[in-house]
Amino acid sequence: MIFQLLKKYEDVNWAVLDQGMVSGVNFLTGLLLARYLGIEAFGQFTLLWMAVLFLNAIQNAMISSPMMSIGSKQDKSFVDIYYRSMFYQQVIFSTLSFIILICSLSILNYLMPSWDIKGFIFPLSLAGVSFQFQDFIRRYFFCRKRPHLAFYNDVLSYLGQLILVVYFFNFLEGTLVTVLYIIGLTSCLSIVVGLYQIDKQIISLRQLNESFIRHWNSAKWLSLNTLLQWSSSNLIYIVSGSLLGNSAVGIMKASQNIMAITHIMFQAMENFVPMNASRVLDKNGVEFLKKYIRKVVLLGGGFTLIIAIAASLFSTELLNFLYDDQFEKYSYVLSWFSIIYVFMFLGVIYRIALRTIENTKEIFYSQILSTIFTFIFSYPLTKAFGLLGSMFSLFIVYIAVFVFLYVSFLNNTKSEEIKVKS
């Protein structure tokens, strides 16, 4: 019976195992980087990495997210061609990403020489593009129902990253540049291994164009949403850094890292909930989709709430244990993040729900709301109340986005009939 259950939910089990490993390693890596680099340099790393996360978010909107929701709907006669097309779209996107990073960072270095980022241009570009391509490979394996390969690929990339960080900072001279090269190297090794296991058979330009057009119908709204999401969510960090210094960004990121344990569930859900939700809608209709979403909210929300309560109650002790006593006076930052993460989880679920019915326009509208709220509240609240104002700004943004997404999903599923594109 146990074997049958494990086999039945194999994709979920591998997704949870994989994300548990990835989130656990990311948690330890973030903790070690904060210790090794110091709060000031760790804040600088956080700000530099925003450029990578920006392009990765665009890639996710244009390729990975539509693939996770649309791939499972493909006819058996076309499914292999579809995923080959996804691979070549990723190759093109990664090439453009590398060029964009190199050029934009070079221009920024020329315009702002006082920022002294010349030494980061190549290592940041290498790390960013390889990180992006490796993320595509892991999602590709989950879509092709080969989750064990995604897990092994992530072990090589993320666990290798952690081992090299520990080695360089303890036995050699570790710097911020070293960290970027480590990320680039481990991601490249995972890409090389993954390429041997991916179907790379050549397809026609017509087939590539057909899949691109299908994706673009969803991706155009997700991409616009990502542009706004990046600007709104990261604007608060940028405002905090400009008004309060790099150390403020380091404190916020270090506190957020403690809540990163919930990313095990967040990312695991992204690896199987979109596909399962699409199958439920395709086979059983909208009412069963609603039931499935409610089930995910109850299970995932309960887990998130338990973590949030524990982090809030023991915020001072956690910061002292994981970092040192210089963080003690900032325990309220962790308490705020614990509240914010509950609404962050709910937002993740209802974005998936709207992607499932392929109504990504509503997700875009939610981000417009988020951007407006961020611009209204982030600067005046941070200037007036410091870090407390920054955290309250984040809280306002996440609760407003959740309410909008929830209402949008309810309004768009009132009808018993929703067309499922094939």
Q: How confident is the model at residue 174 (pLDDT cuts 50, 70, 90)?
A: confident
pLDDT of residue 21: 82
Cβ-based neighbours of 154, under 8 Å, separated by 6 or more: 18, 21, 22, 138, 190
| Neighbouring residues of 338: CB distance < 8 A, sequence distance ≥ 6 | 259, 307, 308, 309, 311, 312, 315
**Per-residue pLDDT, 1:** 44
With 0-12 CB in 10 A as exposed, 13-18 as middle and 19+ as buried, what is 332? Answer: middle
Average pLDDT over all residues of the chain: 80
pLDDT at 67 over 70: yes
Surface-to-core class of residue 88, CB atoms within 10 Å of its CB (0-12 exposed, 13-18 middle, 19+ buried): middle
Q: Cα separations (Å) of 69 from 8, 12, 77, 229, 420?
A: 21, 16, 18, 20, 11
Confidence of residue 417 (pLDDT cuts 50, 70, 90): low
**Res. 422: pLDDT tops 70:** no
Mean pLDDT of 248-270: 77
- For residue 129, CA distances in Å to 50, 76, 102, 183 come to 13, 32, 11, 10
pLDDT exceeds 70 at position 10? no
Tell me, what's the pLDDT at 399?
92
- Whether 218 and 360 have beta carbons less than 8 Å apart is answered as yes
54 or 182, which is more confident: 182
Q: Is residue 55 part of a domain?
A: yes
In a domain, 344, yes or no: yes
Amino acid symbol at 165: V
**pLDDT tier for residue 5 given thresholds of 50, 70 and 90:** very low
Residue 422: inside a domain, yes or no? no
Here the contacts of 382-386 (C-beta below 8 Å, separation 24 or greater) are 382/236, 382/239, 382/240, 382/243, 382/244, 383/243, 386/244, 386/248
Whether 145 shows a pLDDT value over 90: the answer reads no
Q: What share of the chain is helix, strand, coil (3-state, %, to 5)?
A: 90, 0, 10
pLDDT at 366 over 50: yes
In a domain, 421, yes or no: no
Q: Are the C-beta atoms of residues 200 and 90 closer than 8 Å to each other?
A: no
Domain hosting 354: range is 2-412
Q: What is the mean pLDDT of residues 220-234?
A: 70
Q: pLDDT digits over 96-134, tens only? A: 989 988 998 888 888 877 767 788 889 999 998 999 999
Is residue 332 domain-resident? yes
pLDDT of residue 187: 92
Q: How many helices (H) and strands (E) does the chain have?
A: 16, 0
Higher pLDDT, 365 or 414: 365
Q: In whole angstroms, give the CA distance from residue 231 to residue 305.
A: 27
- Identity at 307, one-letter amino acid code: I
How many structural domains compose the chain? 1
Q: Which amino acid would we find at residue 247?
A: S
Closest CA to 88 of 197, 223, 222, 204: 204
User: Does the pLDDT value for residue 421 go beyond 60?
Assistant: no
Residue 22 resides in a domain: yes
pLDDT band at 269 (very low <50, low <70, confident <90, very high): confident
Top-confidence residue, 320 or 222: 320
Distance between CA atoms of residues 344 and 349, nearest Å: 9
Contact 268, 15 (CB under 8 A): yes
The whole-number pLDDT of residue 228 equals 72
Position 420 in a domain? no
The answer to the question of residue 418 being in a domain is: no
For 273-316, the pLDDT digits (tens) are 777 788 888 787 788 888 888 888 888 888 888 888 998 888 88
